[in-house]
Amino acid sequence: MALAVVHFLWKIPSATSLRARLRRSLQLCNRCYPVHASLSYEAIKQQYRPEVPEYFNFARDVLDRWTEVEKEGKKSKNPALWWVDGAGEEVRWSFEELGVLSRKVANVLSDACGLQREDRVILILPRIPEWWLVNVACMRTGTVLIPGTQQLTAKDILHRLQKSKAKCIITDDSVAPAVDSIGAQCQSLKFKLLVSEGHREGWLNFKDLLKNAPSDHHCVTTKCQDPMAIYFTSGTTGSPKMTEHSHSSYGIGLTVSGRYWLDLTSSDIFWNTSDTGWAKSAWSSIFSPWIQGACVFVHKMPHFDPSIVFESLSRFPITVFCSPPTAYRMFVQHKLSSYTFKNLRHCVSAGEPINPDVMEEWKAQTGLDIHEGYGQTETVLICGNFKGMKIKPGSMGKPSPGYDVKIIDENSNILPPGKEGDIAIRVKPTRSLFLFTCYADDPEKTEATIRGDFYVTGDRGIMDEEGYFWFVGRADDVINSAGYRIGPFEVESALVEHPAVVESAVVSSPDPIRGEVVKAFVVLTSDYASHDPEKMMKELQDHVKKVTAPYKYPRKMEFVQQLPKTISGKIRRNELRQKEWRKD
């Protein structure tokens, strides 16, 4: 039986007693939702009617309610979190256990560290269960979480600590030395919590504190628009910004993802292979699945390894799967037919556009489509190929029912189908509560995202006659060659269709006649790596001319072992572009 908790609960006045609220929530939970109903886009738009209450806290209003449903035996027996380390260690927490443990952590934060509401907490941990506990504990205490990746250097951490004025940092012994090397320069940093065994000078031991912490904790009452988290954007360009999100934006806004894009119910087990450090990992590792009562599957996987992914999909009853395009491009290089993904029924991809050829390969080998979704750290899902919709390969689908999405020009006029422009979300007369609230401490940068009645994503796109959106590129990545505008994604997708190409990055390169031309950096498959580069280049150029408009073919080409990527796996086209333009 599939239950949808969230939307029906919001009318509940915050003053009612917990007991009454729970009773009511259970009644509401009994309203069943169709299981894996493949809805048409129109039906989704009809059905989706979020109500946003004045007060909302994800831990109390969603997680604690699933605990009640679970106790009543009204949901599947799947845990809330299912963590494996690949070496035989497993952790399975029910919603109830997650509740108890996260309350203990909440007490650690407020008692042992004396943290107050809206104090900022930096969290840098690998994929270990404690990461989830701290996330939930921050919600319970109203402290503002700032997640970061293990790959941050001491300098990055210093920048984040200084910029955010965080009072507390929670990490393990692999990152602690970096923190100690710069800690003296951070006046606001008061508490350092170590999530590893043993004692470290100047640090409190998380696990010891947790053991002794009481398990009852009263969740703070938060308004929808109170700050919940700050994500430093991964920054394919410029220095990272502090993107602030409220309790409602991810906590309620990601219902669209959980329900219509990921197609989750409480009987599903969802796995996203991405790292906890990514700004958006909260999308898939916390909000989208838990809103739906689904199980979050996590593999510790210290290094990304396709064979671990295949083995896990074969061994564990994972039903819904997400990976970025970079990973899918690697997957289809392998023989997938030697594995059976017994329970897998739905696949999605996000982070960058996915090449149609990769989708086709994946489908040929697994029988499953890849449903692409598009969003930013600043937003929730903007466009998606929702379950049940016709997929147009290469398109990011249709606008999320949570937003009014348009293609606009530089004067904020709405453009007709077929015209390239800026992908934008309407924010006037009322700004969606499912958008970031601001770039913290930076009103100018926040203001700069608004043009007329719209929030401008900084991405270029086209809407077709049927209302499907097509990604052209980051505004900065679009190439202007002899008057033609060329989006890198289309050329990269054309290249990847050739059996010799694993992946590529397409950027502009200076040219005396055309101003700029298309240059491709190409990673070849091992079978082709030793081919004559001249001939290979000619062959690939001819191939691109055949599969796209000929003027788009890369006039310049360079074969490389790998592409520069951000921590989250996005190709750093700006780095390649800068190198090109510096040469001359």
Give the interface with ligand NAG as residue ranges (CB under 6 A): 257, 262, 272, 274, 278, 280-281, 283-284, 288, 322, 348, 350-351, 568
Distance CA 280, CA 272 (A): 11
Residue nearest to ligand NAG (CB): 284
Residue among 272 and 292 whose Cβ is closer to ligand NAG = 272
For residue 374, the minimal CB distance to ligand NAG (Å) is 9
What contacts 462, CB < 8 A, 6 or more positions away?
407, 417, 418, 419, 420, 421, 469, 470, 472
CA 533, 536, 538, 543 dihedral sign is negative
Instruction: With beta carbons less than 8 A apart as the criterion, state whether 514 and 482 touch.
Output: yes
Q: In the complex, what is the shortest distance from the CB of residue 127 to ligand NAG, in angstroms, rounded to a whole number?
A: 12
Give the residue among 485, 473, 463, 491 at the shortest CA–CA distance from 555. Answer: 491
* DSSP assignment letter at 55: B
Nearest distance from residue 553's CB to ligand NAG, in Å?
31
Nearer to ligand NAG, 243 or 257 (CB): 257
CA distance 173 to 192: 11
Q: Minimum distance from CB of 274 to ligand NAG (Å)?
A: 3
Query: Is beta strand 454-463 parallel, antiparallel or unpaired with respect to 469-474?
Result: antiparallel
Question: Residue 500 CB, nearest distance to ligand NAG (Å)?
Answer: 29
Pairing of strands 204-205, 227-232: unpaired
Nearer to ligand NAG, 55 or 362 (CB): 362
Q: Which helix (H) or strand (E) holds 156?
A: helix 154-164
Cβ nearer to ligand NAG, comparing 55 with 270: 270
Q: How far is the CB of 480 from ligand NAG (least distance, A)?
A: 29
CA–CA gap between residue 430 and residue 98 (Å, rounded): 36
Measured from the CB atom, the residue of 127 and 498 that comes closer to ligand NAG is 127
CB of residue 115 to ligand NAG, shortest distance in Å: 26
Strands 370-375 and 381-384, bridge-based pairing:
antiparallel
Query: Which CB sits closer to ligand NAG, 53 or 306?
Result: 306
Return the HEC string of 518-541.
Answer: EEEEEEECCCCCCCCHHHHHHHHH
Q: CA 495, CA 501: separation in Å to the nearest integer?
A: 6
User: What do you get for the CA distance between the two ends of the chain, in Å?
Assistant: 64
Residue 256: CB minimum distance to ligand NAG, A: 11
Separation CA 62–CA 541 (nearest Å): 53
Residue 283: CB minimum distance to ligand NAG, A: 4
